[in-house]
Amino acid sequence: MLKEMNEALNYIEENLESHIDLVEVAKKAYCSEYHFKRLFSLLSGITIAEYIRRRRLTLAALDLKEQHVKVIDIAIKYGYQSPDAFSRAFQNFHGVTPTLAKQPEQNLKAYPRMSFQLTIRGGFEMNYRIVKKESFQVVGVKYAVEMVNEILSPTYEDMIAGVGESRLKELATISNGEPHGIVHISVNYSESVEGKATFEQYIGAVTTEKTETYETLAIPSLLWAIFEIDGDWIQVEEHWQRIYSEWLPLSSYELAEGPEILASKEQKSEIWIAIKKKG
């Protein structure tokens, strides 16, 4: 899988001066566009669109050091519709305008090309099971979340505070299905060409009870990889990285389009990811 991801990055690098079709990029990695976008974001910490933007602006800065080059030519070369749009993006990334960037001693940023490598770490066990689960219902509080430059809006702390302690306790009492306890569910993940990612975040419980107090999310029948984690939801960030960078590449499965679930109860957590057989 890592070799295929690097083939996709090679394709991007070779086409930074032309239109990059992410469907074609995903084909290089032998996976769906959704799978590629989500996997890249989880492994690298940024969206694929943001990565392409940073690489293009890095090369644009080098091009601007040429004596007779025009800003408008560089803007067109890297896919910007106007010099103004290019200048805004350039200044947001480098901190200076393209015109100032042409000065010999001006400091600029460089974002090196990325590659994926398999790193052998300490021998930590990963306890997991593969489960086929029929459709079920989650009720809870829903947030529309944006991620720009790795920053969530609203932040997760704000979301938890918005739910409040009393509603968290109420949701925990109506939990009567697996995964048990309070569940944190990310669904409908998408990315824009500007590098912004959006998704819906539910904080709630799996239940068969009817309620008009909360939002309802219907989750279809899916195959799940379920990982057992010590600690509550605050302490599991490293485990997400290990699942996607260590377990998934070596398994016979790939991501399926579906929610990502974190269930937390009594200092134990479970991470649920929707999967399907490769090929």
Query: In this predicted structure, what is the pLDDT of residue 66?
Result: 82
Q: Is the peptide bond before 83 cis (omega within 30 degrees of 0)?
A: no
pLDDT tier at 208, thresholds 50, 70, 90:
very high
This prediction has a pTM of 0.71
Q: What confidence tens digit (pLDDT) does each residue in 17-75 have?
A: 999 999 899 889 887 888 788 888 877 878 899 999 999 999 999 999 887 889 999 99
Query: In this predicted structure, what is the pLDDT of residue 231?
Result: 65
β-pairing, 222-230 vs 136-148, is unpaired
- Inform me whether the pLDDT recorded for 269 exceeds 90: no
Q: What's the mean pLDDT in 213-223? A: 95
Q: What confidence tens digit (pLDDT) does each residue in 104-129 have?
A: 778 888 898 988 776 555 555 678 89
Query: In this predicted structure, what is the pLDDT of residue 183?
Result: 94
3-state secondary structure the chain: CHHHHHHHHHHHHHCCCCCCCHHHHHHHCCCCHHHHHHHHHHHHCCCHHHHHHHHHHHHHHHHCCCCCCCHHHHHHHCCCCCHHHHHHHHHHHHCCCHHHHCCCCCCCCCCCCCCCCCCCCCCCCCCEEEEEECCEEEEEEEEEEEEECCEEECCHHHHHHHHCHHHHHHHHHHCCCCCCCEEEEEEEEEECCCCCEEEEEEEEEECCCCCCCCEEEEECCEEEEEEEEECCHHHCHHHHHHHHHHHHHHCCEEEEEEEEEEEEECCEEEEEEEEEECC
Query: In this predicted structure, what is the pLDDT of residue 259?
Result: 93
Q: What confidence tens digit (pLDDT) does each residue in 224-267 have?
A: 999 988 766 555 667 777 788 778 877 888 888 899 999 976 67
Q: Please give the torsion angle defined by the CA atoms of residues 178, 179, 184 and 188, in that order, rounded to the nearest 10 degrees.
A: -60
Query: In this predicted structure, what is the pLDDT of residue 229?
Result: 81
- Inform me whether the pLDDT recorded for 78 exceeds 80: yes
Give all domains of the chain, ordered by start, each with its CATH number.
2-101 (1.10.10.60), 128-277 (3.20.80.10)
